[in-house]
Homo-oligomer: A and B are copies of this chain.
């Protein structure tokens, strides 16, 4: 299978040394040495979440971590407000409803910002709301949702606040504790710079209280955060998780997190912002304007309109076939209206940005030959 240059909204193409790490000999998932290495990985994650709360690494996809957080903190009949402005907001709703949680959706069209005033109205209209759940970076549309503001609302109303940071952690400004986030789910294969397979979760003290208060606790073992807490305590010195940890994947994540912390989170975010601005300038120049204005841009992911209403699947195919660059189409209601370029890998450079712009311009030229 010929490999294409991956510039999709995850999984990303990790650095060579991260790939070497995942391909290193298998280690046992228990014992003193491994436990130290695993705990160091948790410490790195805490620095990226910017939290004094607990972190666990679930073996699974980002959705597994979302499922674990929502299902542990809320139960059948609990009311949770979910702003929805894209595919992954809809997924939060689907996962919540799979537990019988009563979702109070606040819907905006795909590609538009969420409606804070509308959310405030819903919060005022009912007295027994338990929480707010929201996607940080809505990968389907590139919209970045206002986590800090929602966190303030949650604190004012004493609600449990869940954030899906699957596509954002490590690539966007993020401050779990400062922003009053109680439960947060992310994944290894986006801005954290590793292959897919791991789904870190972070839980604040208030988050654990919400979990303890959730009476609907008969919802399983593996994705029940109580299970992870229990083993982290009972088997702390030897095997601080309930399962066979995916040791190779953790070795990769340890390596990519070490890189992130060595570069410095602030430095990396600023590097990403500059790459995003370079891409955006280039896109405007070739008549494929970004979907969002620069003021609310996602620094790791850019959606843009194709020229003259051409179905964007044609652009995706052209780049894949002629230039060996894999980008993504629009999702849901933006299907064939926009294309999306992921630049959330730590190894993406200015040259990569210029290369994708060159390929897009080549698509423009191919049109004039039709």
Contacts and interface: CB of A to CB of B under 8 A. Distances in A.
Interface string A128-154: 000000000000000000000000000
A222 interface: yes
Interface stretch (A42-50, A103-111, A174-182, A244-252): A244-252
B33 A76 contact: no
Contacts of A326: 28
Interface in A53-100: 58-64, 67, 71, 76, 94-95, 98-100
B247 A249 contact: no
B220 A67 contact: yes
A111 to B, nearest CB: 21
Nearest to A23: B23
A11 B28 CA distance: 6
Interface range for A: 35 or more
B244 A61 contact: yes
Contact of A23 (B20, B27, B63, B71): B20
B243 A29 contact: no
A189 interface: yes
A223 interface: yes
A60 B60 contact: yes
A10 to B, nearest CB: 7
A195 B26 contact: yes
A92 to B, nearest CB: 10
Given A6-B28, A23-B20, A64 B248 contact: no
A293 interface: no
Given A63-B243, A222-B223, A243-B63, A248 B197 contact: yes
4 smallest A-B Cβ distances: which pairs? A23-B23, A197-B246, A61-B243, A98-B221
Interface string A11-28: 111100001111111111
